[in-house]
Structure 1
Amino acid sequence: MSPQQINSFAEFQQFEGSELGASEYHTITQDQINQFAAATLDYQWIHLDQERAKTESPFGSTIAHGYLTVSLLPYLWAQIVEIGNLKMQVNYGIEELRFNQAVTVNSQVRLRAKLISLKNLRGIAKAQLEVIMEIKDQPKPAFTGIITFLYHFNS
């Protein structure tokens, strides 16, 4: 699956109100969880202690940090849409973020995105996206929310 190519505000605007697609699935490994814990200094046992999580956790295994799943947004978004002709992209905001279900270790997740709105702010494209992180073979998503990116196109 190739990402949708977008090279200008006008090209982006044609997708307003439309679902842009879904990323490939990404497996959340224990190593990734451990590295995220080290990077964020969040060492809760529910994320790291596999033996304790098997017996004491309601999930039966370790789980990914909620913010680890959110941090995958840029990586997974780039599999859906490739923005070209770009000076830079800036993360602008997250609204209405809801963690709906824990992501257990070795789960596969993917991102589904819909362009809610696109505004031209004096040459900067402000894109609001409805995002859903799906968990393979699970009825409830890991999270839902609205993210906003600012795109500075070259022309």
Structure 2
Amino acid sequence: MTDIMTDLTAVHAPAISEATPLGELCTRTLAMPADTNQNGDIFGGWLLSQMDIGGGVFASKLAKSRTVTVAIDAMNFRKPVFVGDLVSVHATLVRIGKTSITVHLEAWVMRRKEKQFILVTDGKFTYVAIDDQGLPREIPQAGRPATA
């Protein structure tokens, strides 16, 4: 029985003990009826796209250029989002590479009858800086000159 319990807990998302959002606020939007799935809850794909938009805003600001999403890792859908929830996406820098930026994103909601934010989703997104031709470009970093 212990092995089964160990296996079950390994599948679940890691616990997050923060009671307030971490990182920089990137986007905030209202979940609307058009964003629902067949069960009447907000569609997970809509929430993922809001996170990607927020992460893209954050990454582009750091890269000082356009960025594209190249990977989404460890998405954790923790709680449902409902119509009328105010959804906020917060970003924290994980790492900056030569051309890529990895960001930890959290989606939090404020429900109409609640007084505190609730963490609903988090994940790690990776973006690559691109030039006007859509090719990867080096990200300028302190102490490292940008190459043309």
Smaller-chain TM-score range? 0.5 to 0.7
* Cα distance, 1:132 vs structure 2: 0.4
Trace 1:1-155 onto structure 2 (pairs within 5 A): 21-31=24-34, 33=35, 45-46=38-39, 62-77=40-55, 80=58, 82-83=60-61, 85-86=64-65, 88-120=66-98, 125-136=99-110, 137=114, 140-153=118-131, 155=148
* Cα distance, 1:139 vs structure 2: 5.0
Contact 1:20 1:80 in 2 (8 A): no
* Cα distance, 1:128 vs structure 2: 0.6
Deviating runs (4+, > 4 A) in structure 1?
78-82
Instruction: Return the TM-score normalized by structure 2.
Output: 0.61
What runs of 5+ residues in structure 2 fail to find an aligned partner?
Answer: 1-21, 132-136, 138-147
More helix by share: 1
Aligned CA RMSD, in angstroms, stands at 2.5
Contact 2:59 2:127 in 1 (8 A): no
* Cα distance, 1:152 vs structure 2: 2.2
Partner of 1:59: none
* Cα distance, 1:80 vs structure 2: 4.7
Cα distance in 2 for partners of 1:74, 1:45 equals 23
* Residue identity (%): 12
For the residue of structure 2 that corresponds to 1:73, the secondary structure is helix
For the residue of structure 1 that corresponds to 2:83, the secondary structure is coil
Instruction: Return the TM-score normalized by structure 1.
Output: 0.59
For these two proteins, the number of residue pairs brought into alignment is: 107
> Higher RCO, 1 or 2 (CA under 8 Å, sep at least 6)?
1
For the residue of structure 1 that corresponds to 2:97, the secondary structure is strand
